[in-house]
Chain A
């Protein structure tokens, strides 16, 4: 059984948003419903100013708080690792959105499409989803099809590596070893961070993220 994980190599991220648009294109997501994100972070002052990008997406937690709270089992943890959604079952209660410490879920409340009042071909499916929760699935269906996640396939910086972390010979396992990628504890995500990037800009471990959310 494969165990899927993803490396986000922040030393290679170009801040180009190809991952964001690739995901929107693949799933035809509505305006404002984004499964992943790219956020500029800065530190230091001229002439020693620094700027990098944070990459956000579902962390595909091991003991996923979202899965625990879902009253109808619409969101589940697959054996291979990705946390997925069953839109047929989702009742849109939004408990998982509250529970997610990484803000990775969106409750769709607006019947909006890209072009006002019009459903384009690529929106046929997504436009049916209203009053339910959407999220990144680590492109589970694509992975089962032997394809990489869309955001990985399109990344011009080659900052995203996906694969079977249980296989030491896989591309991702080798990448983790070679580049000293650090697993975000309790999740399926590994990070390669620029040496000088302040820790506060890196994703917290699942336990710390839960604590931080509770403190808010």
Chain B
């Protein structure tokens, strides 16, 4: 292959015709000339209406795409008809540089050298790619069984339903997502407490109603700025706010009336202490406890162990500050609610911590009340989350299904497998070693997301066949894959449609760059090649619309009754189509009193003591468990590694490993940084901007130091997802030590480390 530097290449590229193949540069990176096409300056500006998916929680903030000659030139606030916050964050605005990015993967590729070596890629046609993959998967299915092929998504949430549909149709129970490392551990907690997943992360405040809001271990200022205004409004309407966080985040600065700067991994103790306060002061919901719960006495006894003094010591919060928080909770006149998110599964006692926090909502009488965690019975259309037919495994009672028995994760994480309809991927290297998984089809999956990353890369090398779909060539993962396919980015795809309540918004897609296809179409085309043409509407161009209309719309009674067609939705842009329906009358509060089987747990009640955990041999009642490695439990390890390693939280400019390729964002945080408290830095002779080594007992990475008082003394903070400094790569993976035995989640927020000058 011809090699040249980028400047030489680009001179050449502008001289040659568009649609040229990718070029390999001297440094081994690839450039795709079709990503840098020119727009005719005389062409008119055309407006497309879409929703942003930048932070990837499904279509969120409304956006207006200004397009000239097929090129996205600007993104504007969408005041017209959009849902959610129209104020687009940095990641949303910078999508302009994502769509038109010379390094973007724009053509299907197959490797020409063995896996495990830095990949050499050769461009192939879509036909060849799909046929090759289908032939390989069919061969593996025939030889070893369909369950040996796993289908997973990393970052993208939008194509999950179609991928799951393909996986189950193909006959494999081994469907997985990055959520088995992200926040789904909170759903395990909800399942154990409530018998269903829907109470996983608590609830945010309702402006005008909520009187006390505990924002527990999340920083929505950076992770979900579209939602931050709700907290600001609640506060303006008289709601008090407690923030529990080891860091002084902008959420603390902007909305906290009280900040509990807790030691990481001690939140279960804090929650039990709050529980104890509510019980001792007789401020708990007697009706709930006596009539709708199970195991209260055991819980009460556990809570009693967590006195204010003891808890203050465990959590490293002063007795006075902790007492202030208790006084606020006991003194609140009106509803209280709590929200927490992905931070909690990231502990060895992660499910326990999430359960302990969740429990405070019903205990304090705030389950299903206005301003608390309300259970709405309003009808809404949830298309993006619709799970398709053919998915009998995704319902309860799956445990005895013979196909389910082939789930690769079952023997390692029985509790997770009982609760969650996707496999836990954190033991993938073992599944491959044991011959349970031989091939993978992955959408936007990055090996860097797992602890002990090298074991995952090796697992991909050892697989018979691995395929990845992505926006960019990502060596951490793709050096270990056989075929890579170019995915269309969010503004380039109209699947799934955006919904809010009974409103449906058409997503108008701008033309995809190069040969990129939407994930939905890639999955559909592969499905068709595997023989599921009928179930995937024949695949091909425009299949997204067919799937929306023929599967999603056709499966919704209200849409069918109203005769709403997709064409109506597109014609209504920028406004949504409101599907007429008869909304049921608002529930009375505390619906669990009147609804049968509101808590579908083994006892039919909210379980302070979990029967599921008892069945699998775990302590049924939550407790504070000191991390396997901590200054308290392993003082000897802490001699060499005295700092607590906190990673995995969000920053405003990146989402996990995404967005490093966009120069506007990259300029805001060019290098991986570790945040150190000033005295911790001074003790080590480190000043702001120094090159430093971050070391754990399992490895080292080189990063830059940021000296800041936003972190707690003795605790460092580092953002993940850096190709050149993968913090997850220096963690190990032992169940019960660094993986939560209940959920399988990695303990990203409680390891030990040391920082020294490089």
Q: Answer whether A and B are interacting partners.
A: yes
Q: Give A contacts to B, CB under 8 Å.
A: 11-18, 20-22, 24-26, 31-32, 40, 42, 44-47, 49-53, 114-118, 120-122, 124, 153-158, 194
Closest chain B residue, CB of each to CB of A19: B90
Q: Please determine whether A156 and B93 come into contact, CB atoms closer than 8 angstroms.
A: no
Decide: A122 near B228, CB < 8 A? Known: A15-B221, A50-B253: no
Question: Chain B residues with Cβ under 8 A from A122's Cβ?
Answer: 73-74, 96, 100
What 7 pairs across the A-B complex have the smallest Cβ distances?
A: A156-B225, A49-B709, A14-B221, A21-B90, A117-B7, A16-B652, A114-B663
8 Å CB contact of A154 from B93, B221, B248, B253: B93
Q: Are A18 and B87 touching (Cβ within 8 A)?
A: yes
Cα separation A17 to B667 with both chains bound (whole Å)? 11
B225 near A157 with CB under 8 A, answer yes
B18 at the interface (CB under 8 A from A): no
B6 on interface, CB distance cutoff 8 Å: yes
| Contact status of A154 and B709, CB under 8 A, knowing A25-B75, A50-B248 | no
| A-facing residues in B440-470 (Cβ within 8 Å) | none
Is B712 interfacial (CB 8 A cutoff)? yes
The residues in B between 226 and 259 inclusive whose CB is less than 8 angstroms from any CB of A are 226, 228-229, 232, 248, 250, 253-254
With beta carbons under 8 angstroms apart, the residue of B88, B89, B229 that contacts A158 is B229
Chain A residues lying within 8 Å of B6, measured Cβ to Cβ, are 116-117
Contact B250 A14 (CB under 8 A): yes
- Assembly CA distance A50 to B261 (angstroms): 12
Complex-state Cα separation, A134 to B591, whole angstroms: 61
Complex-state Cα separation, A93 to B653, whole angstroms: 35
Kindly provide the distance from the CB of A39 to the nearest chain B CB, expressed in whole angstroms: 12
In this complex, which of A46, A53, A116 has the most chain B Cβ atoms within 10 angstroms of its Cβ?
A46
* Nearest CB in chain A: distance from B662 CB, A: 8
Q: Which residues of B contact A (CB under 8 A)?
A: 6-7, 10-11, 36, 38-39, 41, 68, 71-77, 85, 87-90, 92-94, 96-97, 100-102, 221-222, 225-226, 228-229, 232, 248, 250, 253-254, 261, 318, 321, 652-653, 663-665, 667-668, 677, 708-710, 712-713
Task: Give every chain B residue within 8 A of A31 (Cβ-Cβ).
Answer: 663, 667
Which residues of the other chain, A, contact B710 by a CB distance below 8 angstroms? Answer: 42, 49, 51
Judge whether A25 and B664 touch: CB under 8 Å: yes
* Majority-rule SS of A interface residues: loop
Q: Are A44 and B667 in contact (CB under 8 A)?
A: no
Question: A16-B221, A21-B664, A121-B73 known; A156 and B87 CB under 8 Å?
Answer: yes
CB atoms of B90 and A16 under 8 A apart: yes
Of the A-B pairs whose beta carbons lie under 8 Å apart in the complex, a sample of 9, sorted by A's number, is: A13-B250, A15-B221, A21-B668, A25-B96, A51-B709, A114-B97, A153-B77, A156-B85, A156-B228
Distance from B350 Cβ to chain A, minimum over Cβ atoms (Å) = 26
Complexed CA–CA distance, A113 and B41 (Å): 19
Contacts of B321 in A (CB 8 A): 47
In the assembled complex, the Cα of A49 lies from the Cα of B715 at a distance in Å of 14
A114 to B98, CA, bound (A): 12
Structural contact, B90 and A18, CB atoms closer than 8 A: yes
Q: How far is the CA of A46 from the CA of B250 in the complex (A)?
A: 16
Known: A12-B254, A117-B7. A47 touches B77 (CB 8 A): no
Q: Please name all residues of chain B whose beta carbon is closer than 8 Å to the beta carbon of A158 when the two chains form the complex.
A: 87, 229, 232
B residues near A117, Cβ cutoff 8 Å: 6-7, 10-11
B76 neighbours in A (Cβ, 8 Å): 153
Q: In the complex, which residue of chain B has the Cβ closest to the Cβ of A14?
A: B221
Kindly report which residue of chain A lies nearest to residue B224, judged by CB atoms.
Answer: A156
Cβ 8 A contact of B89, one of A18, A47, A49, A53: A18
Measured CA separation A50–B87 after assembly (Å)? 26
Q: Which residues of A contact B87 (CB under 8 A)?
A: 18, 153-156, 158
- Smallest distance from the beta carbon of B87 to chain A beta carbons, Å? 5
Q: What's the nearest-Cβ distance from chain B to residue A40, in Å?
A: 8
In whole angstroms, how far apart are the Cα atoms of A14 and B222 in the complex? Answer: 7
Contacting residues, chain B, for A51 (C-beta < 8 A): 248, 250, 253, 708-710
A49 partner residues in chain B, CB cutoff 8 A: 248, 709-710
Complex Cα distance, B92 from A116, in Å, reads 23
Q: How far is it, in angstroms, between the C-alpha of A25 and the C-alpha of B712 when the chains are bound?
A: 35
CB of A18 within 8 A of CB of B10, answer: no
Residues of B within 8 A of A20 (CB): 90, 668
Given contacts A25-B664, A115-B663, A121-B39, contact A42 B228 (CB under 8 A): no
* B249 CB, nearest partner CB in chain A, Å: 8
Q: Is the CB of B664 within 8 A of A114?
A: yes
Whole-angstrom distance between the Cβ of B391 and the nearest chain A Cβ: 36
Instruction: Return B486 CB to nearest CB of chain A, in Å.
Output: 18
Residues from chain B with a CB closer than 8 A to the CB of A11 are 254
CB atoms of A15 and B248 under 8 A apart:
no
Write the chain B residue with the least CB distance to A124: B41
Kindly report which residue of chain A lies nearest to residue B678, judged by CB atoms. Answer: A45
Considering the complex, give the chain A residue whose CB is closest to the CB of B222. A16
B75 contacts across to A, CB distance below 8 A: 25
Q: Across the interface, do A157 and B254 meet the contact criterion of CB distance under 8 Å? A: yes
Do A157 and B71 have beta carbons less than 8 Å apart?
Answer: no
Q: Which of A42, A52, A117, A121 gathers the greatest number of chain B CB atoms within 10 Å?
A: A121
Extra contacts, 17 of them, besides A13-B254, A17-B652 (Cβ < 8 A), are: A14-B222, A15-B250, A16-B90, A20-B668, A25-B93, A26-B74, A40-B708, A49-B709, A51-B709, A114-B664, A115-B101, A116-B7, A117-B7, A117-B11, A120-B36, A121-B72, A154-B89
Instruction: Pick from B75, B222, B250 the residue with the most CB of A within 10 Å.
Output: B250
Q: Is the CB of B668 within 8 A of A17?
A: yes
Closest to A27 in B: B74
Residues of B within 8 A of A50 (CB): 248, 253, 709
B221:A47 contact, CB within 8 angstroms: no
Give the distance to chain B from A134, nearest Cβ to Cβ, in Å. 16
Output the least CB separation between B713 and chain A (Å).
5
- Name the A residues within 8 Å of B72 (CB-CB): 121
Closest to A112 in B: B663
**Bound-state Cα–Cα, A194 to B250, Å:** 12
By a CB distance below 8 angstroms, the chain A residues around B668 are: 17, 20-21
Bound Cα distance from A53 to B652, whole angstroms: 14
A165 to B377, CA, bound (A): 46
Q: In the bound complex, how far is the Cα of B35 from the Cα of A115, in angstroms?
A: 12
A residues near B228, Cβ cutoff 8 Å:
14, 156-157
Q: A13 CB to closest chain B CB, in angstroms?
A: 8
**How far is B252's CA from A194's CA once the two chains are assembled, in angstroms?**
13
The residue in A24, A25, A194 that gathers the most chain B C-beta atoms within 10 A of its C-beta is A25
Residues of B within 8 A of A114 (CB): 97, 663-664
Q: How far does the Cβ of A19 sit from chain B's closest Cβ, in whole Å?
A: 9
The CA-CA distance from A16 to B668 in the complex, in Å, is 10
A53 to B6, CA, bound (A): 38
Give the interface centre of B76, B92, B232, B253 by most chain A CB atoms within 10 Å: B253
Identify which of B38, B76, B90 gathers the most chain A CB atoms within 10 Å of its CB. B90
Smallest Cβ distance from A51 to chain B, in angstroms?
5
- In angstroms, Cα B41 to Cα A124, docked, is 9
Shortest beta-carbon distance from A177 to chain B in Å: 16
Complex interface: chain B residues within 8 A of A24 (CB): 664
Closest A residue to B321 by beta carbon equals A47
Does the CB pair B254–A18 fall under 8 Å?
Answer: no
User: How far does the alpha carbon of A156 sit from the alpha carbon of B92 in the complex, in Å?
Assistant: 11
Q: Which residue of A lies closest to B97 (CB)?
A: A114
B residues less than 8 Å from A116 (CB atoms): 6-7
Chain B residue with Cβ nearest A23: B93
Which residue of B has the minimal Cβ distance to A44? B709
A44 contacts which chain B residues (CB < 8 A)? Answer: 709
Min C-beta distance of A154 to chain B, whole Å: 5
For the complex, give the distance between the alpha carbons of A42 and B676 in Å: 14
Cα distance A44–B71 in the bound complex, in angstroms: 48
- Determine how close the nearest CB of chain A comes to the CB of B323; give it in whole angstroms: 14
| Residues of chain B contacted by A13 (CB below 8 angstroms) | 250, 254
Residues of B within 8 A of A17 (CB): 90, 652-653, 668
Complex Cα spacing A155 to B222, Å = 13
Cα A116 to Cα B652 in complex, Å, equals 25
Residue of B nearest to A25 (CB): B93
CB-based nearest B residue for A116: B6
Give A12 to B85 CA distance when docked, in angstroms.
16
